Amino acid sequence: MSEQVVFTFDVDGDDFTSAGHASMQVKKNLRQLGIDPDIIRRVSIAMYEGEINMVIHARGGVATVSVSEEYIEIILKDEGPGISDIEQAMQEGFSTAPDNIRTLGFGAGMGLPNMKRYTDYMNIESQVGVGTTITMRVNLE
Partner 1 sequence: MTVNDLCNIEGFNPLTLPEGDREISGVYIGDLLSWVMGKARSDNAWITIMSNINTLAVASLTDVACVILAEGVTLEEEVKNAAENKGINVITSAYSAYDTALILSKAQ
Which residues contribute to the site for Mg ion (CB under 5 A)?
A: 53, 111
Phi-psi region of 2 (alpha: psi -120 to 50; beta: other; left: phi over 0): beta
- Binding partner at 54 among partner 1, Mg ion, ligand ADP, none, C-beta below 5 to 8 Å by kind: ligand ADP
Q: How far apart are CA 96 and CA 18, in angstroms?
A: 21
- Binding partner at 81 among ligand ADP, Mg ion, partner 1, none, C-beta below 5 to 8 Å by kind: ligand ADP
Q: By C-beta, is 16 or 66 nearer to partner 1? A: 16
Q: By C-beta, is 41 or 77 nearer to partner 1? A: 41
Closest distance of CB 102 from ligand ADP, Å: 8
Q: According to the binding rule CB under 8 A, does residue 82 interact with partner 1?
A: no
Q: By C-beta, is 10 or 69 nearer to partner 1? A: 10
Question: Please, are residues 55 and 11 in contact by the beta-carbon 8 Å criterion?
Answer: yes
Q: According to the binding rule CB under 8 A, does residue 41 interact with partner 1?
A: yes
